[in-house]
Amino acid sequence: MLFYIETDRLILREIQDSDIDGMFELDSDPIVHKHLGNKPITSKEQAQSNINYIRQQYHNYGIGRFAAVEKATGEFIGWTGIKYNTGDKEVIDRHRDFYDIGYRFIPRYWGKGYASESSFIALAYGFNKLNIQTMCGAAEEANIASNKVLQKIGLKYIEDFVFWGEKIKWYELNKADYGA
Statement: residue 73 has pLDDT above 80: yes
Domains and CATH numbers, the chain: 4-137 (3.40.630.30)
Statement: residue 79 has pLDDT above 80: yes
Rounded to two decimals, the pTM is 0.90
Output 71 or 93, whichever has higher pLDDT. 71
Smallest CA-to-CA distance from 94 within 34, 170, 165, 154 is with 170
What backbone phi and psi angles, to 5 degrees, belong to 136?
A: -120, 160
Can you give the pLDDT at residue 168?
A: 87
| pLDDT, average across residues 44-64 | 94
Q: Encode pLDDT of 2-33 as tens digits.
A: 679 999 999 999 999 999 999 999 999 888 87
DSSP of 142-168: T-HHHHHHHHHTT-EEEEEEEETTEEE
Can you give the pLDDT at residue 38?
A: 63
| C-alpha pair distances (Å), 98 with each of 58, 87, 113, 136 | 15, 9, 25, 7
In whole angstroms, give the CA distance from residue 135 to residue 53.
21
Can you give the pLDDT at residue 158?
A: 94
Q: What's the distance, CA 132 to chain centroid?
A: 16
Confidence of residue 37 (pLDDT cuts 50, 70, 90): low
